[in-house]
């Protein structure tokens, strides 16, 4: 039995939030995920109502495919979903990522809990134009070995457990600026529907496996320095 994508989202997401709060120096951060039902009830309104100083970071979770718990770990990317993420990444190049946990079987996950970040990797979306990555195909498999994501071409991965406050100049070069809440709301509203106006339906790729980290500024006088 493989570990489900939902289980990875919940467990890795909890650890990721702890790193963002305690290591990256953003104690007011919290995770936000939208289900189809929530999207119907709130949708873009939630993001539009955030404070002007709020910043967002988008993490698209992917579960590995296959049966063997060994390199290379394989993940399937979908052109339609990737194109949405790539568009968003142009707003803030260091704030949109694929999250690629290397956990196929429950045994390895149970062994590594509560330190799943030791084998969870970030892949930045901004340097991955859709036409280059997919070349007209609907899906693409990325093979991950060590700190390499092999598609065509090859991209660098960043291990989450090693990404501390001092190392944020690497993959997260611009991440600590984040995506302005207003910009995220505009993107979300623009892409939340599929089809023509009279036959439109919700775009499933906006909520499938996407977790948004919302960072609100600390009240003045409460921020402390972090080493």
Domain ranges of the chain: 5-215
User: Average pLDDT, stretch 140-168?
Assistant: 84
Residue 169: band (very low, low, confident or very high) from pLDDT cuts 50, 70, 90: very low
How far, CA to CA in Å, does 130 sit from each of 65, 81, 108, 135, 138? 21, 10, 33, 8, 10
pLDDT in tens, 16-54: 998 888 887 788 899 987 665 555 555 567 787 888 889
The pTM (predicted TM-score) of the whole model is: 0.88
Residue 224 has pLDDT above 70, yes or no: no
pLDDT digit string (tens) for 67-93? 899 999 999 999 999 999 999 999 898
User: Strands 55-61 and 96-101: what pairing?
Assistant: parallel
Query: What pLDDT, on a 0 to 100 scale, did the predictor assign at position 37?
Result: 59
């Amino acid at each position: 039995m493989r570990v489900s994508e939902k289980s990875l989202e919940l467990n890795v997401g909890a650890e990721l939030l702890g790193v963002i709060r305690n290591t990256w120096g953003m104690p007011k951060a919290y995770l936000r995920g939208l289900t189809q039902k929530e999207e119907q009830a709130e949708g873009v309104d939630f993001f539009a109502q955030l404070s002007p100083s709020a910043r967002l970071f988008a993490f698209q979770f992917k579960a590995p495919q296959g049966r063997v718990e060994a390199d290379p770990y394989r993940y399937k990317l979908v052109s339609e979903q990737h194109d949405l993420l790539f568009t968003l990444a142009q707003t803030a190049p260091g704030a949109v990522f694929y999250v690629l946990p290397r956990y196929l079987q429950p045994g390895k996950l149970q062994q590594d809990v509560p330190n799943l970040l030791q084998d969870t990797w970030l892949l930045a979306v901004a340097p991955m134009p859709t036409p280059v990555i997919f070349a007209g195909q609907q899906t693409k498999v990325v093979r991950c070995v060590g700190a390499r994501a092999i598609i065509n071409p090859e991209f660098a991965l960043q291990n989450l457990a090693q990404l501390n406050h001092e190392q944020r100049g690497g993959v997260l070069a611009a991440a600590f600026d984040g995506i302005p809440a207003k910009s995220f709301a505009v993107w979300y509203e623009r892409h939340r529907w599929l089809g023509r106006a009279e036959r439109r339906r919700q775009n499933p790729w906006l909520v499938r496996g996407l977790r948004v980290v919302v960072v609100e500024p600390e009240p003045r006088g409460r921020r402390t320095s972090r080493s």
